[in-house]
């Protein structure tokens, strides 16, 4: 299990992730209570293709394999954000299955925590989430979560600029 969410180490770990790396110390202290740290063993399915998602995770340690239609299409590694598309558009199902291949430390954001994160109004987080939405073919994802528009279920395998290259959303 990770150390308590508000510890110095936790803030430093948050600051090393793609989603939170541009946050100020003050912003990180506001973000920290919204995430739930968990540890999972190798073999744990983090997301299953076709399921509706209720949370997303930030990989703090470890690695997961990302499969689409039974074929490996990438890996979720330290700093990766997995599952945010399902929170940006509740009508979207998971577009891949993500399975831990090592023991992993994760930060979990439920749908409510994700909305609270957005409500903080941290520009760098909004920018990163907008980049991710665009990379996955979702437009206007943050104007109104109940009114999300998306393009013909097109999902890109490419990660937004700066996000760990091997990652894809699930």
Give per-residue pLDDT as tens, 115-139: 888 888 888 888 888 888 778 776 5
34-49 pLDDT per residue, tens: 889 999 999 999 999 9
Percent of the chain with pLDDT over 70: 77
* Percentage of residues in the chain having pLDDT higher than 90: 34
What's the whole-model pTM score? 0.74
Q: What is the pLDDT of residue 123?
A: 87
What is the β-pairing status of strands 81-82 and 55-61? antiparallel
Place of tokens 């239609």: 69
Among 37, 30, 27, 130, smallest CA distance to 85 is for 130
Is the pLDDT assigned to residue 150 strictly greater than 50?
Answer: no
Q: In what order do the strands lie in the sheet with 36-40?
A: 36-40, 104-110, 55-61, 81-82
Q: Comparing 5 with 106, which gets the higher pLDDT? A: 106
Query: What's the mean per-residue pLDDT of the chain?
Result: 78
Domains and CATH numbers, the chain: 8-150 (2.60.120.10)
């Amino acid at each position: 299990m990770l150390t308590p969410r508000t510890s110095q180490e936790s803030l430093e770990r948050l600051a090393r992730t793609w989603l939170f790396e541009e946050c100020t110390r003050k912003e990180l202290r506001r973000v920290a209570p919204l995430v739930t740290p968990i540890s999972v063993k190798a073999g744990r399915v983090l997301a299953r293709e076709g399921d509706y998602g209720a949370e997303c995770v930030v990989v703090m340690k470890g690695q997961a394999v990302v499969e689409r239609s039974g074929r490996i299409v990438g890996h979720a590694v330290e700093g990766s954000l997995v599952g945010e598309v399902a929170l940006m558009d509740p009508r979207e199902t998971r577009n891949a299955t993500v399975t831990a291949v090592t023991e992993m430390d994760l930060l979990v954001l439920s749908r409510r925590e994700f909305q609270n994160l957005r409500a903080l109004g941290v520009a760098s987080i909004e920018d990163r989430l907008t980049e991710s939405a665009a990379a996955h073919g979702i437009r206007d994802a943050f104007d109104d979560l109940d009114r999300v528009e998306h393009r013909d279920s097109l999902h890109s395998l490419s990660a937004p600029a700066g996000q760990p290259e091997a990652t894809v959303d699930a």
